[in-house]
């Protein structure tokens, strides 16, 4: 019997971003089960090894080190949060093991790391779309920002949004920071309220986004909130309830997109009727794209696999067609 091909996944299976890791792991598992049912890769089955990062950067680095040095994985999938992918990616680069992040959007994740890839858009694109939506669809001129100073993702998206919104004739009337996990946002929100902002951009993750929405409404603020992909969790609505109604966020895919229908049907059948968030689809795409590259690669050695991933063009993902560019 041929040995299995080991693939690692590091993700936040617990903690304040738990749905990120859980949904991604579901998508990855679905893909690998399908591939194994059809005979695997190069005649070998794939074995998935998942470690919990708890949403913590140093845990992410440790998880990836363990996957590479003790489990001897062929490739690594993860993380969702950009700061954690930056930490894990440094380890993959050091050991020459290819990594594909399903969903980290910060530019720094892949810069200068030729073993690190992603299968999603980046934050300059996302910020442009959000700014355009705020200006053109919502018709707003004055925006305030409340961002998480602990996350590379949040800081990057705040910078890119500021640039894009100003270019489109908008004004940033207040720019406030918090630290992920904070419980009290009343000082920042009171400040924002006094500046007469028409829309509040909150480029953070869903647990904080929900808490901010609740506290803003308590302070009598009626303006719409705007988020990035980091809001994508069933928990956002569960925690925030009515406080989030009338707000908007950008995302990688939507379950009612016609080209996602097959994937959504399969996901629901496998996971007790649950509708996949974007992370499920991106996890599935990252794993399937990796398998596609494994099949094309000269060998499963780090460099050969890296080269095969790097030339991926027009790969038909469930979240859209995926092409690697030079970054």
Q: Which residues bind ligand PHE (CB under 6 A)?
A: 20, 80-82, 103-106, 153, 229-230, 232, 252, 278-279
- Give the shortest CB-84-to-ligand PHE separation in angstroms: 8
Nearer to ligand PHE, 105 or 243 (CB): 105
SS (H, E, C) 139-168: CCCEEEEEEECCCHHHHHHHHHHHHHHHHC
Nearer to ligand PHE, 160 or 232 (CB): 232
Helix (H) or strand (E) holding 315: strand 315-317
Nearer to ligand PHE, 50 or 151 (CB): 151
Nearer to ligand PHE, 189 or 278 (CB): 278
What residues contact residue 62 under an 8 Å CB cut-off, 6+ apart?
Answer: none
- Give the shortest CB-62-to-ligand PHE separation in angstroms: 19
For 249, list phi and psi in degrees, rounded to 5: -145, 155
Nearer to ligand PHE, 82 or 207 (CB): 82
- Give the shortest CB-299-to-ligand PHE separation in angstroms: 31
Which one, of 102, 211, 85, 88, lies nearest residue 146 by Cα? 211
What residues contact residue 305 under an 8 Å CB cut-off, 6+ apart?
Answer: 74, 75, 98, 293, 294, 297, 299
- Give the shortest CB-314-to-ligand PHE separation in angstroms: 22
Which one, of 122, 76, 73, 125, lies nearest residue 101 by Cα? 76
Q: Which residue is nearest to ligand PHE (CB)?
A: 153
- Give the shortest CB-292-to-ligand PHE separation in angstroms: 22
């Amino acid at each position: 019997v041929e040995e299995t091909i080991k693939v690692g996944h590091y993700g936040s299976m617990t903690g304040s971003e738990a749905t990120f890791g859980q949904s991604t792991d579901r998508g990855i598992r679905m893909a690998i089960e399908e591939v194994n049912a059809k005979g695997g890769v190069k005649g070998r089955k794939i074995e998935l090894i998942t470690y919990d990062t708890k949403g913590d950067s140093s845990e992410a680095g440790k998880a990836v080190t363990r996957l590479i040095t003790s489990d001897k994985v062929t490739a690594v999938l993860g993380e969702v949060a950009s700061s954690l992918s930056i930490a894990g990616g440094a380890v993959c680069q050091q050991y020459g093991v290819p990594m594909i992040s399903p969903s980290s959007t910060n530019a720094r994740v892949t810069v200068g790391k030729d073993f690190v890839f992603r299968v999603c858009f980046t934050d300059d694109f996302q910020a442009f779309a959000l700014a355009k939506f705020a200006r053109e669809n919502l018709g707003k001129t004055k925006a305030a920002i409340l961002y998480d100073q602990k996350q590379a993702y949040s800081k990057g998206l705040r910078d890119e949004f500021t640039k894009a919104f100003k270019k489109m004739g908008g004004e940033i009337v207040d720019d406030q920071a918090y630290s992920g996990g904070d419980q009290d946002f009343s000082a920042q929100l009171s400040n924002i309220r006094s500046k007469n902002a028409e829309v509040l951009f909150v480029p953070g993750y869903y647990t904080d986004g929900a808490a901010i929405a609740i506290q803003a409404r308590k302070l009598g603020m009626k303006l719409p909130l705007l988020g990035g992909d980091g809001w994508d969790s069933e928990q956002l609505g569960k925690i925030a309830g009515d406080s989030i109604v009338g707000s908007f966020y950008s995302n990688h895919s939507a379950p009612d997109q016609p080209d996602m229908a097959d994937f959504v049907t399969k996901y629901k059948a496998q996971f007790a009727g649950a509708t996949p968030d974007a992370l499920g689809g991106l996890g599935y795409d990252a794993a399937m794209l990796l398998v596609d590259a494994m099949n094309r690669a000269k060998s499963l050695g780090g460099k050969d696999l890296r080269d095969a991933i790097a030339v991926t063009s027009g790969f038909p993902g469930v979240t859209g067609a995926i092409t690697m560019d030079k970054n």
